[in-house]
Amino acid sequence: MDDPPPNKKKQRWSYTIRDKRVAARRMKEIGVEEVARELLCARGTAHVWYQQADKLVSLSSHATDEGPGM
């Protein structure tokens, strides 16, 4: 008997805030679709990063703060 093919799930990638910031910058240069292709992510995902570029910059500055007493 032939067994059905195993369920193939798409690989989920994890992107850091830095990755998203760099991607948003590149989108201004080469476009959302091209960056999405390069990163193997959905165009919609890349577009959201592009829309949130200003927030991503502020998040990264908070992430690098050493905090009080350090």
pLDDT digits (tens, 9 = 90+) for 9-55: 667 778 998 999 999 999 999 999 999 999 999 999 999 999 998 88
Q: Which residue has the higher pLDDT, 51 or 70?
A: 51
- pLDDT reported for residue 5: 63
Q: How many residues does the chain have?
A: 70
Crossing angle for the helix pair 17-30 and 32-39, to the nearest 10 degrees: 140
CB-CB contact of 69 with 27 (8 Å) = no
